[in-house]
Amino acid sequence: MKNSFDEKILEEANDWVKSNQKVVIATVIQTWGSSPRQVGSRMIVNEKGDFSGSVSGGCVESAVVRECLGLIKENKPCKKIEFKVSNESAWEVGLACGGEIAVYLEQVN
């Protein structure tokens, strides 16, 4: 039921690119079990690590930023990453909801 027309994240990505920033778009492409953001949710990250939007309820955003920075550094076009249920040893990048999500990163070029 989301109104994709009203979401402005891609417009923001375009603005960032226009101001000469390197931009990676991260999109939730699959979810299993319960997950806070639905498929199609997005965040964007620039080369400084600034970000906008979200792909989870705050659980994996920091890891996504790190991965995006890696993509820019290695100058790769795209990458798929998966996040699973949190456990004690990896609480920082786990999903407290017990769900799993796959996030697709793509550099705007």
What residue ranges bind another protein (CB under 8 A)? 1-5, 10-11, 13-14, 17, 25, 27, 29-30, 38-40, 77-78, 80, 104, 106-109
How far apart CA 70 and CA 27 sit, in angstroms, is 16
5 vs 89, beta carbon nearer another protein: 5
DSSP string covering 74-98: HT-SEEEEEE-B--GGGGGGSBTTS
Q: How far is the CB of 39 from another protein (least distance, A)?
A: 4
Q: How far is the CB of 18 from another protein (least distance, A)?
A: 9
Are 97 and 57 within 8 A, CB to CB?
Answer: yes
41 vs 59, beta carbon nearer another protein: 41
Q: How far is the CB of 74 from another protein (least distance, A)?
A: 14
Q: Which residues contact residue 13 at a Cβ distance below 8 angstroms, ignoring those fewer than 6 apart?
A: 23, 25, 44, 108
